[in-house]
Amino acid sequence: MQTKLNITPSKKLLNLPVYIFAELDEWKEAARAKGVDLIDLGIGNPDGPTPAPVVEAAVKSIQDPVNHGYPSFKGKETFRQAIAEWMLRRYNVTIDPKEEIQTLIGAKEGLAHLAMAYTDPGDINIVPDPYYPVHSRGTWISNGDVYHVKLETKNNYLPDLSSIPEEVAQRAKVFFTNYPNNPSAATVTKEYYQELVDYCIKYNILLCTDLAYGEIVYDGYRPPSIFEIPRAKDVAIEFHSFSKTFNMAGWRVGFAVGNKEYIRALYSMKTNVDYGTSTIVQDAAIAALNLPQFHIDKIVQKYQRRRDFMVEGFRKLGWEVSFPKATMYLWLDVPEGYDSKSWCKMILDKTGVVFTPGIAFGKYSDDHFRVSMVQSDERLNEAMDRLEAANIKFVMDR
């Protein structure tokens, strides 16, 4: 007879909130099993191919046996130099490639490891809500506490620093921000970043900025790097991703830049849990950073065309929605009578169109849902036709 054991995961894992994207996958699997033709506007997975010169660089790299061994922990020197040159070109920011850059297996991994590197049990980290899930979960995995600052339309989805209790500010270790923002598509100004830098200096808080959507921008808007702000390097670390800018979500590559002390702490954490980014992927990433601008412009123009079409489409269905200046997302109100999960499940059941419930992005976000513009123009047109045919309209009395 086999003995039944009771070996349970750690409490920190069991206490993590349900990952809504996993539940969303279950909804989709059930719908597909019934033969539903899904139009998935849920996860923000870029639908275009990686630019050909990047793929060619990877093919060339993989054919060199020297790249088949363990990669550098910190990232190969040529990659770090390419990152420094790109930061200078794009943001006029000078970064030391030897001590102020850490390559990553995607920005998500780096954000989680940063929280683990700086959070002791009982520490508080500040995270605006709505938020990309890892901004909070890295802290929870470290047995730390998260103080969520509610982002509101009246503040342009920027954290109201005066609303943060003094006790929280005094105890906080890390302040996470993400602009352009996922999921709200909100943007930030240098003037606000100056306030945030001053605040973090005052309270001795590490400022962590996530710039994953820095290149997916429209209408002449250019998001700032935090390091364009005076004294930011004293207090900040910034994360970048190749996923959206270069259609490289599956390659898993990103980087962090900032004060060498914060980079060293992230490096120390990573050396204990992984061997760094594949050398082959690093070579591909170097090619991406050196692409002619028209490659990025082509990707951005595709999303802008989709943005214009989807905004007009939802306006016809009754939503008051403006044209976001960045990202591949629309952040829309849930109509009266629903929470975000019941609304998105109803839409899926009636139309086969998949949206992400706002609750996936925080406790204050259950009155919204996110639309990811990651399908072809034809499929987006069909999605809007299905919504209209099902009489999906915006009604709000609250």
DSSP letters of 13-54?
HHTSPP-HHHHHHHHHHHHHHTT---EE-SS----SPPPHHH
What is the model's pLDDT at position 162? 96
Q: Give 206-220 pLDDT, tens digit per residue.
A: 999 999 999 999 999
* Tally of CA atoms within 13 A in the half-sphere of 219 that contains its CB: 9
Residue 36, burial from CB neighbour count under 10 angstroms (0-12, 13-18, 19+): middle
Domain limits, the chain: 11-49+294-389, 53-289
Q: Give 362-380 pLDDT, tens digit per residue.
A: 999 999 999 999 999 999 9
Query: For residue 261, which of 190, 186, 206 has the smallest C-alpha distance?
Result: 206
CATH of range 53-289; options 3.40.50.300, 1.10.3720.10, 2.60.120.1270, 3.40.640.10: 3.40.640.10
Kindly state the DSSP code that residue 326 receives in the 8-state scheme: B
Structure tokens at 25: 């996958």
What is the model's pLDDT at position 1? 59
* Tally of CA atoms within 13 A in the half-sphere of 215 that contains its CB: 24
> How far is Cα 68 from Cα 275, in angstroms, rounded to an integer?
13
The verdict on pTM exceeding 0.95 is: no
* Tally of CA atoms within 13 A in the half-sphere of 380 that contains its CB: 22
What is the model's pLDDT at position 23? 84
Q: Is residue 276 a contact partner of residue 69, using CB atoms and an 8 Å limit?
A: no
Kindly state the DSSP code that residue 284 receives in the 8-state scheme: H
What is the model's pLDDT at position 21? 79
Kindly state the DSSP code that residue 119 receives in the 8-state scheme: -
What is the model's pLDDT at position 396? 53
| Helix-strand-coil split of the chain, %, nearest 5 | 45, 15, 40
What is the model's pLDDT at position 398? 39
Q: Where are the alpha helices (DSSP H) in 204-331?
A: 232-235, 260-271, 279-289, 293-316
Structure tokens at 50: 């990686």
What is the model's pLDDT at position 397? 43
Query: For residue 211, which of 196, 228, 197, 226 has the smallest C-alpha distance?
Result: 226
> How far is Cα 326 from Cα 311, in angstroms, rounded to an integer?
13
What is the model's pLDDT at position 269? 94
* 15: number of Cβ within 10 Å: 11
Q: Is residue 385 a contact partner of residue 322, using CB atoms and an 8 Å limit?
A: no
Query: For residue 124, which of 169, 187, 93, 73 has the smallest C-alpha distance?
Result: 169
Name all contacts of 145-150 with Cβ < 8 Å and 24+ positions apart. Answer: 147/172, 148/362, 148/363, 148/364, 150/364
The SS3 of residue 287 is helix
> How far is Cα 362 from Cα 245, in angstroms, rounded to an integer?
25
* 43: number of Cβ within 10 Å: 15
> How far is Cα 77 from Cα 82, in angstroms, rounded to an integer?
9
> How far is Cα 142 from Cα 113, in angstroms, rounded to an integer?
10
What is the model's pLDDT at position 64? 94
* 192: number of Cβ within 10 Å: 19
Secondary structure of 340-352 as H, E, C letters:
HHHHHHHHHHHHC
Structure tokens at 70: 């363990």
Residues of the chain where predicted confidence (pLDDT) is lower than 50: 397-398
Structure tokens at 164: 């943060």
- Give the homologous superfamily in CATH for domain 11-49+294-389: Aspartate Aminotransferase, domain 1 (3.90.1150.10)
**For residue 21, which amino acid is it?**
F
